[in-house]
Structure 1
Amino acid sequence: MGDVICAARVLLGVPRRRWAWVLARMCAEARASGGSLMEAALRRETVAEPDLRCREYRRALVFVLLGLGRD
């Protein structure tokens, strides 16, 4: 779950229209380096983890989970 949280925190820092591209890049980098999604995410700027009451954060978490399900 830490990987999902880190990736979601990255997504919150970029416009939503770029979420798919950013997530795809992070996943590709993780695969290419044999690392984790968390490692790829932490190479980028992240925002502080919001409370789960934050709707946009919940959307980002779901986006990452659904994206990983397709990967």
Structure 2
Amino acid sequence: MQAELDKGTGKANFRDYIIILNKYHIPFFDGIHISTIDMEKLREFDAWRIEQLKRIPARLTHPHY
């Protein structure tokens, strides 16, 4: 995505995706093999992300609301 943005061909929301990946997904899932991510791990991520945000995410980003 960053390479596409650098070339000027990326979509505007790529910037938001990169920020979210770097701020939440990579810190939480770093070192966890993708085949071990199950519903329990996703629930842990959800709780962790709420702690990081200090609020419940907007409905568009939160699967449970």
Of the two structures, which has the highest relative contact order with CA contacts closer than 8 Å and spacing of 6 or more?
1
Structure number with higher helix proportion: 1
The verdict on a shared fold, with TM-score over 0.5 as the criterion, is no
Report the TM-score range of the alignment, normalised by the length of the smaller protein: 0.3 to 0.5
TM-score (norm 1): 0.33
TM-score (norm 2): 0.35
